[in-house]
Copies of this chain bind each other. A is one copy, B any other.
Amino acid sequence: MKRTDDVQVEQLPPELKAFWEERERLNEIVFEQANLTIKRFFSLDGQAYREGALSARTKEMLGLVASLVLRCDDCIKYHVIRCHQEGISDAEFGEALSVGLVVGGSIVIPHLRRAFRWWKALKEAASGAP
């Protein structure tokens, strides 16, 4: 769960800041109770996104699209934050989402709507906009 440190929580917009803090609280509850298999899985999850032959930014987009087609809001939220942090451009973000939309169909639209809202909020928070 090292990646948690990378995100500057204080600079997140309110909805995403609340998500991140809840996520950390719950991770503590998991780690109090989890067996070795679960702990190893969490470690593997971090490892899969680390810079390698593919850049961290490409991997975050892979994670974003996988989360979109599987329709998991918490996962999308996480990867939207990470994509923003990796400096992905608006056009790149939009094209990644459009691959996910075409693959996954209209059933992903409610998640796509929220992904764009989170993206907009991240950009506004970064630019000091309200």
Contacts and interface: CB of A to CB of B under 8 A. Distances in A.
B49 A99 contact: yes
Interface residues of A, number: 65
Number of copies: 6
A3 interface: no
Nearest to A61: B62
A113 B30 contact: yes
A interface majority secondary structure: helix
A1 to B, nearest CB: 11
A35 B69 contact: no
B116 A41 contact: no
A58 B83 CA distance: 15
A61 B58 CA distance: 9
